């Protein structure tokens, strides 16, 4: 009897978990599904390099800047204190190996 109840419990858990997993995988956009594993790793490497470069730049607060990369295009976002900090973040990012272009969506905090 115990073997049957364990098997039933496993079956019920599988039936309730599977739709959630499948549903989450279908929520990704078509462009995300088309990115190869190698391209994804390259983008992750670029993102890491950009974050490291921003951390080394004394005139940019890296904690206020978000970095995302897709096919070598780096998008910067967040809020900084000054316009010069916003420009400097883009400048530092352009100097990182592998960056094809930079989309600067950083905003200066209102005073």
The pLDDT of residue 21 is 47
So what CATH class is 35-111? alpha beta
User: Is the pTM of the predicted complex or chain greater than 0.85?
Assistant: no
Confidence of residue 15 (pLDDT cuts 50, 70, 90): low
Residue with the bigger pLDDT between 21 and 17: it is: 17
Three-class secondary structure of residue 25 per DSSP? helix
Most distant CA pair in the chain, distance: 72
The pLDDT of residue 5 is 57
Give the integer Cα–Cα distance in Å for 9 and 15: 10
Residue-wise pLDDT tens digits, 55-109:
999 888 878 899 999 999 999 999 999 999 999 999 999 999 999 999 999 999 9
Kindly list the domain boundaries of the chain, sorted by start residue. Answer: 1-33, 35-111
Nearest to 63 by CA among 47, 50, 80: 80
């Amino acid at each position: 009897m115990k073997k049957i109840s364990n098997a039933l419990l496993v079956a019920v858990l599988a039936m309730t978990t599977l739709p959630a997993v499948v549903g989450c995988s279908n929520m990704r956009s078509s462009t995300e599904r088309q990115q190869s594993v190698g391209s994804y790793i390259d983008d992750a490497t670029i993102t890491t390099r950009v974050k490291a470069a921003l951390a080394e730049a004394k005139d940019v607060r890296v904690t206020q800047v978000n970095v995302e990369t897709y096919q070598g295009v780096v998008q910067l976002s967040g809020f900084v204190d000054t316009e010069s900090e916003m420009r400097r973040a883009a400048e530092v990012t352009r100097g990182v190996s592998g960056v094809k272009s930079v989309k600067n969506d950083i905003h200066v905090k209102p005073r």
